[in-house]
């Protein structure tokens, strides 16, 4: 069974809700569905009809960033040098986390509420694990490290860079410095 296409006004409202949520996330403001409705200028029932929970809205905001990271991981798997492919992917991942706070929030959450988010994060974890395995097989990474180890470390690097810097450029520099320390520790 397929669902009926969304009416144009409903699709427009949904996009406005996502756009406002994106602004709130970028400002560091917690997503409260009542606040989103007020800022969009729609009834709260309209927001809940599209997004039953703040987590569902957050995951929708994060989806384009997750899709971009999946695409980057797929490209990295085609690169010749396994170490550079892994290091570059981790660099891109950290940059994405520092510029899109929704990514760290969604990646650090204990559960996923949307099937699409579950699919994207599972794919991303699988691809990242393959990148790590490739680098390990080439002797470029210590054998004891798993993707399950690196995932929380990447979230921690992004968090530490956010906390210890006041502006975007300093956050990026700090994050790259922290990532460099982690990469040196990974190197086989």
* 37, 101: one domain: no
* Contact between 124 and 173 (Cβ < 8 Å): no
Contacts of 97 (CB under 8 A, 6+ apart): 103, 104, 107, 154, 155, 157, 158, 175
The whole-angstrom separation of Cα 98 and Cα 174 is 10
Token pair 């694990």 is found at: 129
List the CATH number of the domain containing 68: 1.10.357.10
Same domain, 92 and 179: yes
Q: State yes or no: pLDDT of 53 exceeds 70.
A: yes
Span 129-141, average pLDDT: 96
Task: Point out the domain boundary residue: 28, 52, 76.
Answer: 52
- Among residues 30, 27, 119, 106, the alpha carbon closest in space to that of 70 is found at 119
Q: pLDDT value at position 5?
A: 72
Tens of pLDDT, residues 8-43: 888 899 999 999 999 999 999 999 999 999 999 999
pLDDT of residue 126: 97
- Summarize pLDDT for 86-132 with one digit per residue, the tens: 999 999 999 999 999 999 899 989 999 999 999 999 999 999 999 99
What's the average model confidence in pLDDT over 169-176? Answer: 94
Residue where a domain stops, chosen among 52, 68, 88:
52
Cα–Cα distance measured from residue 151 to residue 139, given in angstroms and rounded to the nearest whole number: 21
The predicted model gives 131-136 an average pLDDT of 96
The whole-number pLDDT of residue 9 equals 82
Same domain, 31 and 72: no
Pair 73, 166 in one domain:
yes
Higher pLDDT, 88 or 159: 88
Q: Can you give the CATH number for the domain in which 17 is found? A: 1.10.10.60
Q: How many domains does the chain have?
A: 2
**Which of 52, 78, 95 lies at the terminal end of a domain, its last residue?**
52
pLDDT at res. 143: 81
Tell me how crowded residue 20 is: count the other CB atoms within 10 A of its CB: 22
Which residue range(s) make up the domain with 175?
A: 59-186
Q: Are residues 45 and 98 in the same domain?
A: no
């Amino acid at each position: 069974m397929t669902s009926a296409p969304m009416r144009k006004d409903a699709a427009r409202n949904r996009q406005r809700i996502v756009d406002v949520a994106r602004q709130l996330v970028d400002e560091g403001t917690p997503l409260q569905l009542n606040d989103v409705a007020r800022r969009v200028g729609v009834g709260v029932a309209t927001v809940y009809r599209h997004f039953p929970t703040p987590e569902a809205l957050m995951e929708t905001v994060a989806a384009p960033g997750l899709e971009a990271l999946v695409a980057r991981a797929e490209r990295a798997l085609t690169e010749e040098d396994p170490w550079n492919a892994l290091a570059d992917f981790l660099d891109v991942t950290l940059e994405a986390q520092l510029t899109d706070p929704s990514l760290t929030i969604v990646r650090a959450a204990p559960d996923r509420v949307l099937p699409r988010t579950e699919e994207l994060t599972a794919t991303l974890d699988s691809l990242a694990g393959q990148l790590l395995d490739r680098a390990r097989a080439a002797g470029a990474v210590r054998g004891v490290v798993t993707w399950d180890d690196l995932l929380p470390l990447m979230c921690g690097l992004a968090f530490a860079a956010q906390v210890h810097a006041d502006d975007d450029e300093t956050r990026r520099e700090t994050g790259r410095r922290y990532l460099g320390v982690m990469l040196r520790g990974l190197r086989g």
